[in-house]
Amino acid sequence: MRLTTLRTAAGTRAARIDGDTAVEIDAPDLGALLTDPAWQARAASAAGSRHALADVDLAPLVPRPGKIFCVGLNYRTHILEMGRELPEFPTLFAKFPEALIGPADPIVLDSASQAVDWEAELAVVIGSPARRASEAEAEAAIAGFAVLNDVTMRDWQYRSVQWLQGKTFEATTPFGPHLVTPDELPGGTRPALDLHCTVDGETVQSANTSDLVFDPVALVAYISTIVTLNPGDVIATGTPGGVGHARKPPRYLGNGSQLVTEIDGLGAQTNTARAVVTVPA
């Protein structure tokens, strides 16, 4: 099953994707739908208003997750090619809902940063509460997967040893277009999917999600040891090599740059970077 969140004249709405049609579900967004333990049956039986998928405006997949966990340094090949040892535990940081945008929305280039970078990632969306989850419980807690780009202000990220400040600038993180349930994907809850990112038509990142050091099930189990994961919470599983900051010379997004992030089976998002001038408070 494929699910999404639409923007409509009456506000956002959860929807099921049937081919080239979006069928509204009686829930204000996907996050709200997932709080219903019967969300799968409710989504499958929905028969609300129908929209041509080509004509809809998509919101961030889960507009306001309670928690957004992100993982650093999680692609095996990339870590080894940098001459580092594989980590024993995941590197975790957070992002806030204000950072999220839809899969076709503009990425805001805040004038406070001069080093805006891309990070294509597989996102995990939680579908049922998980606390100290076993492997089986972690698998059962995964509602599905989606595309996310953890757009990062590198000059802010490296102001200190804590990364948060460079990771959660407002209106920078595309999330969507669809949630795809594990039964539709090769590998299920440990999907093996090709990931690609292009900037202005040039491929800058290419990998397969089977190369993750800590796969989605392991991440759900690990993070749920720290805190309860609730329906609608999101885990961004990390990015492979090819980011702009690591290039020589470094390369960053500029005004008008087109960022395309695609994962086979999950769809693609196309976002244009737009500069804004911020006025100090």
| Digit-coded pLDDT (tens) for 232-263 | 999 999 999 999 999 999 999 999 999 999 99
How many structural domains does the chain have?
2
Which residues span the domain enclosing 214?
A: 62-276
Are residues 15 and 78 both part of a single domain? no
pLDDT of residue 280: 58
**C-alpha closest to that of 212 among 179, 240, 180:** 240
Q: How far apart are CA 104 and CA 4, in angstroms?
A: 13
- Whether 156 and 166 have beta carbons less than 8 Å apart is answered as yes
Residue 101, domain member (yes or no)? yes
Q: How many CB atoms lie within 10 A of CB 268?
A: 16
What confidence tier does 276 reach under pLDDT thresholds 50, 70, 90? Answer: confident
In a domain, 281, yes or no: no
Instruction: Answer yes or no: do 18 and 115 share one domain.
Output: no
Assign residue 236 the CATH number of its domain.
3.90.850.10
Residue where a domain stops, chosen among 13, 40, 59: 59
Per-residue pLDDT, 71: 97
pLDDT value, residue 9:
92
Q: What is the pLDDT of residues 6-65, one digit of tens each?
A: 999 999 999 999 999 999 999 999 999 999 999 999 999 999 999 999 999 999 999 999
Residues 75 and 202 reside in one and the same domain? yes
What is the pTM assigned to this prediction? 0.96
- Flag whether pLDDT at 138 surpasses 80: yes
In this model, does residue 281 exceed pLDDT 60? Answer: no
Question: Which among 179, 69, 172, 62 has a CA at the least distance from the CA of 115?
Answer: 172
Q: Give the model confidence (pLDDT) of 62-71 as tens digits.
A: 999 999 999 9
Do 101 and 83 sit in the same domain of this protein?
yes
177-211, pLDDT tens digit by residue? Answer: 999 999 999 999 999 999 999 999 999 999 999 99
Q: Are residues 163 and 24 in the same domain?
A: no
**pLDDT tens-digit readout, 66-121:** 999 999 999 998 888 777 899 999 999 999 999 999 999 999 999 999 999 999 99
- CB neighbours of 1 closer than 8 A, spacing ≥ 6? 16, 40, 43, 44, 144, 180, 181, 183, 184
Are 105 and 196 in a shared domain?
yes
C-alpha pair distances (Å), 221 with each of 180, 214, 227:
20, 10, 10
CA angle 82, 86, 87 (to 5 degrees): 120
User: Which pLDDT score is estimated for 83?
Assistant: 79
The confidence band for 279, taking pLDDT boundaries of 50, 70 and 90, is: low
Residue 152 pLDDT? 97
112 lies in a domain? yes
Question: Dihedral angle at the C-alpha atoms of 238, 241, 246, 251, nearest 10 degrees?
Answer: -90
Is residue 115 within 8 A of residue 250, CB to CB? The reply is: yes
Q: Are the beta carbons of 70 and 173 closer than 8 angstroms?
A: no
The domain boundary residue, chosen from 59, 76, 95: 59
